[in-house]
Structure 1
Amino acid sequence: SPPDLEDIIRRGQDRLRRALPGGGGASPAVLGLIALALIVLWAFKAIYTVQPDEVAVELRFGQPKSELSQPGLHFHWWPIETVETAKISEQLVSIGGGASSGSGLMLSGDQNIVNVQFSVAYQVSDPKAYLFDVSDPDGMLAQVAESAMREVVGRRPAQDIFRDDRQGIATAVREIIQGTLDGYKTGLQVNAVSIEDA
């Protein structure tokens, strides 16, 4: 016959009593240690540090709070609040040539194939938009930058790219990138575009 459910529960309780010190009744010292351990764990999760090149956004029940946390030590009510950080220092992405994010081979306006390697210097201007409005703003930046460069190079003769109007091309590309990123509300600001090789 199958074992009785009450018998299984009773045997489990007996084993638990034998395993615990004092025959199953927890002493105040043991309860105090458990409570202290839980408080330390909670404090460890509730205190966080924002690095000098970051800002943080606290979320309460998944919704961003209005104020940003600046660099330093901060407290939040874990687990009902969580923290997301965004690096606000200037970052650089390289595109084309030997860079892994794109091939760099482009067709100029006078039907020549040119190999353009360039970099985009950018930083986070709106941490909330950067963290929550677009799933991969850094990846989007690389794709938009390569597309913008192809568009501008496709309207110019190869000579402009090689030497005559590199700065004009870089400025036009920066404007296209920024306009596209603003349209998608990525929270990114493009500081400069530099053509390194052509």
Structure 2
Amino acid sequence: MKRLLIAIPVLLLLAYLLTGIAQVRPGERAVVRRFGQVVAQPGPGLWIGFPYGIDRVDRVPVNFVRQVKVGYDPDADELSVAPAGQLLTGDQNLVNISVAIDYSVGDGDAVVQYVLHKDLIEAALARVTESVLAEWVSSHSVDEVLLTGKVALRVRLPGQVQEQLQSYGLGIQVLSASVTWLTAPDEVKSYFERVMVAQAGIQTRVNEARQYAANLKRQAQADENDYLQQANAYTQGRTQLARADATAFSARLEQYRRLRSINPGILHSIWWSELGKLLLALKANGQVDLLDSKIGADGLDLMQFARPK
């Protein structure tokens, strides 16, 4: 009995001492605080320190992606006068908007900052996100917000929120943002949907007109290229033909000059030869005829060739 009474305190003491041993798993970083003061930041592995009450070990998964939702809740009480996430646009209209922010814990000293402020992180992140949302919505018309908000905010929010969080020293990194809800209030939702459908139709017609104009432009350019190729081909053909004619004429002229030096009357012979060929061709075509048969006793009467009126 006496041994049992001694063993129980010893076991309790050993169990208490074992609280100073912690296993840091892969993907985790630990922050060890001793009497509230950070004394170590061990990585994955076994950590042996002082027992609970002296040391406090906080293990933080640094590769884990966390998410906080900010803004309008469609399941909330609809009787609320000003529900969260209902913002005023630049042209004095209301929209209901909700976003989801994905973030993770940074590495190094960021883990310490996260541990020291982890109870405040989601509230601070939500307030900063609401501020960025309100600023963007108030600088755009309701049409721009409803038509482009999901894409524009997904690009804008991570950088803007991260920039404003730097001064807070929370040790988190904003990874991405997505718009989970973006509509007009229920009272006017149907009217805005009609407007959006009409604007989408207008944009479709504009896109079709631009595509048609682009097709016409491409066809005109193709026709222009064809005409230019045809013109270039015709020009080259005529140029080659003219050069061939000029070459042939030069060669023939040189031949005439050599023949004339041998026979000065050669050009007259050529002239009468060519003229005879021409007259025979004209006669064959009925364009010329001999007048001997037309001469009468009084000579050639030209009136017989006059056309009757």
Fold match (TM-score > 0.5) = yes
Displacement after TM superposition at 1:31 (Å): 5.9
Matched residue, 1:111? 92
Q: TM-score, normalised by structure 1?
A: 0.73
Q: CA deviation at 1:30?
A: 4.1
- The 1:163–1:191 alpha-carbon spacing in structure 2 relative to 1, beyond 3 Å, is same
Q: How does 1:47-62 map to 2 (within 5 A)?
A: 47-50=21-24, 54-62=28-36
The residue identity in structure 2 corresponding to 1:179 is: E
Greater strand proportion = 1
Higher relative contact order (CA 8 A, sep 6+): 1
Q: Deviation of residue 194 (structure 1)?
A: 0.8
Instruction: Report the CA distance shift for 1:161/1:54 in structure 2 as closer, same or farther (over 3 A).
Output: farther
Task: Using the TM superposition, name which of 121-130 and 80-89 deviates more.
Answer: 80-89
RMSD: 2.5
Structure 2 unaligned segments of length 5 or more: list them: 77-82, 183-309
Length-normalised TM-score, structure 2: 0.49
- Residue type of the alignment partner of 1:76: G
Provide the rounded CA distance (Å) in 2 between the counterparts of 1:175 and 1:155.
Answer: 18
1:123-134 matches, within 5 Å, as 123-125=104-106, 126-132=110-116
Match of 2:249 in 1: none
Q: Would the aligned equivalents of 2:31 and 2:58 in 1 still touch at CA under 8 Å?
A: yes
Q: 1:136 aligns with which of 105, 120, 133?
A: 120
Q: Which residue of 2 aligns with 1:122?
A: 103
Check the 8 A contact 2:89/2:137 in 1, yes or no. yes
Q: Per the alignment, in what secondary structure is the counterpart of residue 95 of structure 2?
A: strand
Structure 2 CA distance for partners of 1:162 and 1:51, relative to 1, 3 Å = farther
Deviations 1:150-175 (A, max 9, x none): 11111122223222353223332222
Deviation at 1:187, TM superposition (A): 0.6
Maintained 8 Å contact 2:27/2:61: yes
Corresponding residue number in structure 2 for 1:177: 161
Matched, 1:36 2:17: no
Task: Give CA deviations for 1:108-131 in whole Å, capped at 9, x if unaligned.
Answer: 122210111111011111110112
2:140 paired residue number: 156
Q: 2:290 corresponds to which residue?
A: none
The 4+ residue runs of structure 1 with deviation greater than 3 A are 49-54
Aligned-pair identity (%) = 26
**Alpha-carbon offset, residue 133 of structure 1:** 5.1
User: How much does 1:32 deviate?
Assistant: 4.1
1:193 matches 2:177: yes
One-letter identity of the residue aligned with 2:144: D
Contact 1:61–1:81 (Cα < 8 Å) also in 2: yes
Structure 2 distance, partners of 1:67, 1:170, is 34
Aligned residue pairs total 170
SS at match of 2:58: strand
